[in-house]
């Protein structure tokens, strides 16, 4: 099945699911409206606004433009409830409820039309491009489960890996567990709005440069400016065409990767370089001091590396460095920061990790290195070991002192026979 055929099936399936969800939403709105007709409740008024806002943003994505227009009228009618809900008792609620009832009748008509359509009109022309092998890993943060699921499936067709989060709290947990190439963030969520994510990302030095695209049902200049000044890479207003959104995601990830490669990556191994590591070390220490959490650092130095260069040439030495970097990347934890510090030295920063824990992590990696061929040519296979020193940050210790202690522990490991990990006492 071609990509176009797969996407067509997804659109059809997504629209079918959405029509079922639309029926549920209309029934819920009718119940809420009836309750408000008996007595005013600010929470129920906000429920109507949030439901309408959600429909306004998602319905046109599935081709239900009329539903989106009706939902927009409802959003405007109840927007006051989101800004000053307690003022509802002073408003002409009878008139508002009557107008809302009329819009709900129109919604039910549109639902019946959509449900009875035998042949759905789907988009035939898709923006075709050659996808890269791994477009990227996305975290999609939206409290609209149906739209979120639909977008996730669409991105997966294009080769992206996608994780979903229904609110800010779940997104934070997933960000600590898994690295992402880009976040897609719905701005209007409940109970915490998308603006909470900006604050969280800005305060965490390991995530402040993570690309982010805002998805919002509000065509509001102040929102756009606020998001872009807060660090958003793009702002996309619902409703949107998926092909346009995917193109924006692709371009943001591509630019971020190019910038990162030029500024922060070691040209030989592809891991972070010393410049980036020194910068991140200072930020991570600030974060650890503020939150009173442990942080450790490991120096790693390849044993007898000079002999490899002298006996087999620098090209073989480069292959060994590349092979070790690959093993380190594959076996360290997602929260660990790996960099090439110079020559045959690598360094690993381990946030929220005590010295003894860090030692176990590096010993496990060393065990993998011992058992594998790190590089090979037609004539030779290279197996290596390394020596490592661990330093845990202590109160009053500078970043330079922490580096010095890890370096001293690494040289102690060399003196004791290499092929081991020592934690600075």
Give me the active site residues, please.
344
DSSP single-letter state for residue 189: -
Q: Report phi then psi at 225, rounded to 5.
A: -65, -45
CA 173 to chain centre: 11
CA distance linking residue 262 with residue 267, whole number of Å:
8
Going by their DSSP bridges, the two strands 345-351 and 295-302 should be labelled as antiparallel
Q: Is the peptide bond before 392 cis (omega within 30 degrees of 0)?
A: no
Q: Is the peptide bond before 239 cis (omega within 30 degrees of 0)?
A: yes
CA distance linking residue 309 with residue 405, whole number of Å:
28
CA distance linking residue 271 with residue 328, whole number of Å:
10
Q: Are 362 and 409 in contact (CB under 8 A)?
A: no
* Cβ-based neighbour number of residue 425 at 10 Å: 7
Find where tokens 């969280």 sit.
Answer: 200
CA distance linking residue 349 with residue 336, whole number of Å:
6
* 299 torsion bin: left (phi>0), alpha (psi -120 to 50), beta (else): beta
Q: Are 212 and 140 in contact (CB under 8 A)?
A: no
């Amino acid at each position: 099945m071609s990509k176009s055929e797969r996407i067509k099936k997804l659109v059809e399936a997504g629209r079918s699911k959405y029509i079922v969800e639309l029926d549920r939403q209309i029934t819920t709105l009718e119940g809420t409206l009836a309750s408000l007709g008996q007595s005013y409740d600010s929470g129920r008024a906000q429920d109507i606004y949030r439901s309408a806002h959600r429909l306004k943003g998602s319905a046109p994505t599935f081709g239900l433009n009329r539903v989106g227009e009706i939902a927009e009228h409802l959003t405007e009618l109840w927007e006051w409830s989101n800004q000053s809900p307690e003022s509802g008792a002073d408003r002409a609620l009878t008139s508002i409820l009557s107008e809302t009832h009329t819009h709900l009748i129109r919604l039910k008509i549109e639902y019946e039309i959509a449900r009875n359509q035998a042949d759905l009109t789907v988009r035939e022309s898709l923006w075709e491009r050659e996808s890269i092998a791994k477009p990227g890993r996305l975290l999609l943060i939206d409290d609209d489960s149906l739209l979120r699921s639909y977008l996730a499936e669409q991105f997966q067709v294009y080769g992206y890996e996608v994780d979903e989060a229904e609110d800010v709290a779940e997104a934070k947990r997933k960000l600590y567990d898994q690295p992402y190439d880009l976040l897609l963030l719905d701005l209007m969520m409940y109970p915490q709005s998308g603006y909470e994510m900006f604050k969280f990302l800005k305060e965490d030095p390991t995530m402040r440069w993570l690309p982010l695209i805002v998805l919002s049902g509000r065509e509001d200049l102040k929102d756009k400016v606020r998001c872009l000044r807060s660090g958003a890479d793009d702002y996309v207003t619902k409703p949107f065409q998926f092909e346009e959104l995917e193109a924006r995601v692709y371009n943001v990830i591509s630019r971020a990767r190019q910038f990162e490669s030029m500024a922060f990556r070691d040209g030989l191994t592809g891991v972070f370089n010393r410049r980036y590591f020194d910068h991140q070390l200072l930020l991570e220490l600030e974060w650890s001091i503020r939150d009173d959490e442990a942080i450790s650092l490991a120096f790693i130095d390849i044993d007898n590396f000079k002999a490899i260069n002298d006996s087999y040439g620098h090209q073989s030495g480069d292959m060994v460095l590349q092979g070790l970097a690959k093993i380190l990347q594959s076996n360290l934890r997602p929260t660990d920061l790996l960099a090439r510090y110079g020559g045959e030295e690598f360094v690993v920063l381990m946030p929220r990790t005590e010295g003894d824990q860090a030692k176990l992590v590096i010993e496990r990696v060393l065990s993998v290195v011992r058992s594998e061929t790190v590089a090979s040519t037609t004539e030779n296979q290279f197996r290596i070991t390394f020596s490592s020193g661990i330093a845990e940050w202590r109160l009053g210790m500078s970043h330079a002192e922490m580096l010095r202690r890890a370096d001293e522990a690494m040289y102690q490991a060399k003196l004791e026979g290499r092929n081991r990990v020592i934690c600075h006492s």
